[in-house]
Amino acid sequence: MKKINIQMVDLMGQYTKIKNEIDANIISSIESGRYVNGPIVKQFSENLSSYLNVRNVIPCANGTDALQIAFMALGLKPGDEIICPSWTYIATAEAAAILGIKVIFCDVDLNTFNTQADLIEPHINDKTKAIVPVHLYGQSCDMYSVIKLAEKYKLKIIEDNAQAIGCKYTLPNGDVKYTGTLGDIGTTSFYPSKNLGCYGDGGAIFTNDDILAEKIKMIVNHGEKIKYHHEIVGCNSRLDSIQAEILNVKLKYLDNYNSSRKIMANNYNLAFEEIDEIQIPKIISSSEHVYHQYTLRVLNGRRDHLKTYLNDLGISSMIYYPIPIHKQKPYRNNQVLENTDILSNEVISLPMHTELENSNQDFIIDNLIKFFK
């Protein structure tokens, strides 16, 4: 039997192609002597804000901090409630919990993997302060419905955009906006494997509200505007200049990277759409999909068998996520989230990255089809 080694991501392969540019920038950053929050960080925040067409981008240390800082900037206090999906990475809930905010989980749609207004609304009460939609795996939530819901109940929206940077969403009036710029605040992560990743930790917060932006800029830097004048409680969450140099290079290629992901996803979709035992990702008409992950549902109860089978062939796969947050020890409650529970037993993510070779993808596809024959 042919055996190869296909990983979920190939960061080295991507680096090799931009090595000259990256290396030169890193060296110039070291030689500049400005290691934290230097002019390069400012330049990156300007580049990203013009790419996203959002008034303010405030870089920070990682995507988890970005969420925490968003909650702090909106003035959320212990006892306040936020609503977020349980079907997301732990950070979405953790960033609220660390501030003493009560996290109420909502369910997600089985085929888009995202939450939507009718799944959020039943959880709203007079303690609810904000909704935190997550654009999971690279596709926008049905944001228009979420925006309408937030208006109805006067709630804030913080979009967790860690998996969907570069994803476009079309509003009913035809306006096209990037995810993360539709709510009050958007947050993202530049963790290496994200669609726009640096070579360490990094994150950012976006907002069109200049007053909020001023507050966020203070929070990321110990609550100060003027050095050693601390006006509010903040934290230390800044982006290193070296990471900003890397991000300045990679931002130029983000659209190309996302296009490669879409092509790969399309190949998977075409190959798998006729297989009754699997459900390919469903895309809503108002959103693109930038395929941070390519995630299938295995409908015949054999997901774990499939994972073992792929592993034996040298094909990596991942379960995002094996245990939903509402079943994790610190967050456990008696909420019943039917779809979330189903998904934790059905989903499997296949290798998806910008350097995936056609021959390797064909190998994955052929073998996956064989498994269901």
Ligand X SMILES: *Cc1c(COP(=O)(O)O)cnc(C)c1O
Q: Which residues bind ligand X (CB under 6 A)?
A: 62-64, 88-89, 91-92, 134, 160, 162-163, 189, 191, 201, 203
Nearer CB in complex with ligand X: 313/348: 348
As a whole number of angstroms, the distance between CA 211 and CA 234 comes to 16
Closest distance of CB 167 from ligand X, Å: 13
Least Å distance, CB 288 to ligand X, is 17
Minimum separation from the CB atom of position 134 to ligand X (A): 5
Least Å distance, CB 305 to ligand X, is: 27
**Residue 304 CB: number of other CB atoms within 10 A?**
12
**Closer residue to ligand X (CB): 268 or 320:** 320
Nearest to 52 by CA among 170, 160, 177, 239: 177
CA distance 220 to 225: 10
CB-nearer residue toward ligand X: 69 or 298: 69
CB of 199 to ligand X, least distance (A): 13
Strand intervals (E) in 2-141: 56-60, 81-85, 102-106, 128-131
In the numeric block, which tokens belong to residue 343? 């998904």
d(CA 141, CA 160): 10
Cβ atoms of 320 and 349 within 8 Å: the answer is yes
Paired tokens of 336: 């019943």
Least CB distance to ligand X at residue 31 (A): 28
Nearer Cβ to ligand X, position 179 or 367? 179
Shortest separation between residue 90's beta carbon and ligand X, angstroms: 8
From its phi and psi, is residue 223 left (phi > 0), alpha (psi between -120 and 50) or beta?
A: left
d(CA 251, CA 190): 11
Cβ 224 to ligand X, closest distance in Å? 23
Instruction: Tell me which residue has tokens 């977020």.
Output: 84
* Minimum separation from the CB atom of position 225 to ligand X (A): 26
Q: Which is nearer to ligand X, 38 or 186 (CB)?
A: 186
Q: Which is nearer to ligand X, 188 or 360 (CB)?
A: 188
Residue 321, preceding peptide bond in cis (omega within 30° of 0):
yes
Amino acid at residue number 61 = A
Nearer to ligand X, 89 or 272 (CB): 89
Q: Which residue is nearest to ligand X (CB)?
A: 63
Work out how close the CB of 66 gets to ligand X at its nearest, in angstroms, rounded to a whole number.
7
**CA pseudo-torsion sign 349, 351, 355, 359:** negative
Candidates 350, 356, 280; CA nearest to 315 is 350
Closest CB to ligand X among residues 97, 365:
97
C-alpha span between 109 and 136 (Å, rounded): 11
Parallel, antiparallel, or unpaired: how do β-strands 102-106 and 168-170 relate? unpaired
> Which lies closer to ligand X via its Cβ, residue 62 or residue 260?
62
* Residue 300 CA from chain centroid, whole number: 28
Helices (H), 137-240: 143-153, 210-219
